[in-house]
Structure 1
Amino acid sequence: MSIYATWDGSLQCTRPWLDARGLGERVWVPAGTTLSEAQAVHGHFHLIRAGYISATMARANGAPLLLEILGPGTLFGAGPAFERSPRFATTFAITDCTLDCFDAATVESAFGTRPELAVALIRLMNVTQRSLARKLMRFTSSTPEERLLELLARVSRVEQLQNPQRDRPQVHLTHDQLAAMSGLSRVTVTRTLKKLATQGLVQTQPGHVEVLRPDLLERRVEGL
């Protein structure tokens, strides 16, 4: 499993939420919408049905640090919503998104008759903790190429699920975003992508990376 498996793993855990009826409100938000600011306190959380959301924190110098790109099937913001505690990250719609918006108080009152939702949240917390542990381990031992391979494989996997008719998945992340997510510099990402391009794995395009051989990319990641 990829070290960036937070949303890969959450697809299984959030199935009861994807199937839930009558609890949340379906909303559409355009690209560029800020869903929640860091330190904000409110009682709602979201499930992504389509699109991508970025989660960022501010560095000491005020520059944003990209923590994660959240994809379809991800449930986010539930912890602070139930605790009524400040959000630790700012969430922002990278693309147009379809979301389910849940009110924590309403959901909590429904746990008695729908315990599968509470169980799914517990499982999701476990997946998130294991994913964070893997990230820490890999960041201290993996090469830049390994980090980037895993990230590209993970995003292209979701792209294939959303666009099965496309033979060559497109990773719509900039070099800066890839660098922030993989803990690398932009220069290292660009250099590594050029190397992967010479191997016939990817082709860089304006605004995205096209995966030419998703099957070979998956085999490379499985061998890490």
Structure 2
Amino acid sequence: MSVRRISGEQAPPPAMVAPSPASAFASWDAARTLSAPWMSDTSLGTLQRLAPDEVLFAQGDQHDRFYLVRSGCIHTTVLRSDGSQLLLEIFGPGAIFGEASAFIDRPRYVTATAVAETVVTRYRAGEIQALLARSPELVLGLLRLLGIKHRILIDKLSSFASSSPEARLVDLFGRAALGQRQEPTPLLRLTHAQIGSMTGLSRVTVTRTLKTLAARGWIATRSRGVEITNPGAFIALLEAR
């Protein structure tokens, strides 16, 4: 595994995004809100730059590091017993991930891969102990983010059992739109199969539902993924829940 590091480079300024009512359910938006102190404190950790398709860590690796996405996008996938891959989560700017395995010293249960030019900050779990006295807001933000991640997982499981295919895609695209507010047309670099794995839907159902959303002018399918052409529509539906 090759990871290119940046030495002596200043971290980019934090993206300021106002909290929304959907923060408790949207990992992108919640991450931006709760990780603001981490984005601001550039004295901690080590910056790393990843090229598209570069692996940050692989399933089964064991180390005490966790990460903050400063720019770009990370996909985490799980290798199934039949050899297929399940896309578990997408992490955009402001997201903190990998902390569970780092703190409990267990092998990684996912593979983390950059899907665009990505900059992350790498931290060591042991560094957190020194933060308790100096920066309790950093630790508090991390603990709150862990709680929200568990809430998101429960919501996903509930959605798989009860929500319609369209509602599941609206939730996924709404979360993406919230996390990419600065982009006029947010782009999800996901195949139909990956969207299906994230929403518990078959590829055929995903394709049919995407056609419905495209007919409304809300999305457009591109060779590189799904382009959200009307992010406001998804955000409004998500925040109305």
- 1:186 partner amino acid: R
**Paired residue secondary structure (1:99):** strand
Identity of aligned residues (%): 36
Number of the residue aligned with 2:163: 142
- Assess if the C-alpha contact under 8 Å between 2:65 and 2:125 holds in 1: yes
Number of the residue aligned with 1:38: 59
- Assess if the C-alpha contact under 8 Å between 2:24 and 2:30 holds in 1: no
TM-score for both structures, normalised by structure 1: 0.90
Number of the residue aligned with 1:51: 72
Number of the residue aligned with 1:174: 191
Pairwise CA distance, 1:2: 7.8
Shift in CA distance, 149/3, structure 1 to aligned 2, threshold 3 Å: farther
Number of the residue aligned with 2:215: 198
- Long gaps (5+) in structure 2: 1-21
**Number of residue pairs matched?**
220
TM-score for both structures, normalised by structure 2: 0.84
Single out whichever of 209-218 and 16-25 deviates more from structure 2: 209-218
**Paired residue secondary structure (1:111):** helix
Number of the residue aligned with 2:232: 215
- Assess if the C-alpha contact under 8 Å between 2:28 and 2:179 holds in 1: no
- Assess if the C-alpha contact under 8 Å between 1:51 and 1:72 holds in 2: yes
- 1:180 partner amino acid: S
State the alpha-carbon separation in 2 of the partners of residues 169 and 40 from structure 1. 32
Shift in CA distance, 203/87, structure 1 to aligned 2, threshold 3 Å: same
Q: Please tell me the root mean square deviation across aligned C-alpha atoms, in Å.
A: 1.9
Match of 1:132 among 150, 153, 161: 153
- Long gaps (5+) in structure 1: none
State the alpha-carbon separation in 2 of the partners of residues 12 and 149 from structure 1. 22
1:75-101 Cα distance to aligned partner (Å, 9 max, x none): 111222122221111111111101111
State the alpha-carbon separation in 2 of the partners of residues 7 and 156 from structure 1. 9
- 2:202 partner amino acid: S
- Assess if the C-alpha contact under 8 Å between 1:4 and 1:151 holds in 2: no
* 1:116 is aligned to 2:133: no
State the alpha-carbon separation in 2 of the partners of residues 39 and 205 from structure 1. 33
- 1:18 partner amino acid: M
- Assess if the C-alpha contact under 8 Å between 1:51 and 1:98 holds in 2: yes
Pairwise CA distance, 1:123: 0.6
